[in-house]
Structure 1
Amino acid sequence: MKVANTMQISAATEADTECLSVLLGEIEHYYGGEPVPGDPEQIRSALFSDRPVATVLLARDGDTVLGLASYTFLWPAAGAESSLYLKELYVRSNARRGGVARALMAELRSVATASGCSRIEWTADTDNPSALAFYKALGVEPKGGKVFYRSAL
């Protein structure tokens, strides 16, 4: 699918909860899990409560959602500065290679700049060569020196 020049990027709203649920199922499937939609109540709580934990940008062509970028802010970044942390960048399979990811990254850069951030940070799976190639094409090289940890609760 070639992405039309009419692509718009905007922050998701509570009205997008069902769409986000479907997208989360697609993301889970992309990473090898079962394509089970996300829980709408958890999505509402995480994104649209009094204390949201993330913001989601949606790329759309008309009424069709092409992809998303989920982010939050981290502090401290360098000194007392903050950074924008990209948690998930996802483009639906029929919209890949159409400029959606590049447009989402450009919008993230605008958000980070407007928010006074000193940088954008993210991780990528080492077994995702298309993502690694995309980030390299953006001119961003991987940073060494950190080890990723995860502790289940």
Structure 2
Amino acid sequence: MKQSVEYLEEALTKLGKKSDRQAAIKLKLSPQAMSGYKNGERVMDDFACVMVAEVLGVNPLEVIAAANIDREKSEERREFWADFRKRLGGTLGLAGLMTVMSILVGSPTPAFASSPKKINELGGSPIFAKTFIMSNKIKTKPNKHHECI
């Protein structure tokens, strides 16, 4: 498994910057932090891990886990992060996909959850309006009690 500094080196290569200072600016890190990360004096913090992951197009938790493995003094905690990192491929990948899908689908706006009259005002048919509640499709026809304008 890669160490956190290997992810950093890979990101620097991908950025193609001529100097560490330019790369640090691109990654929104201080040049001092970049130097400390590269020469092994420091281990990347979570922000640096996320910035590196974005450049590489990988799950940020993968880089964060690598940094925590590098940082931990306790063997038990290093094993925890190593196990966590192994599980990232399947379980968290599916959870991440579900999160993105729930954000993209969202919920209906109040205007579309209104009465047939409101739907008609938004461009619905004056004769026939459809209301969708969750996955149940309900058709509403105007009658003497519901007047469409």
TM-score when normalising by structure 2? 0.28
Pick the structure with more helix per residue.
2
Q: Which has the higher strand share?
A: 1
TM-score normalised over the length of structure 1: 0.28
Q: Which structure carries more relative contact order (alpha carbon 8 Å, separation 6+)?
A: 1
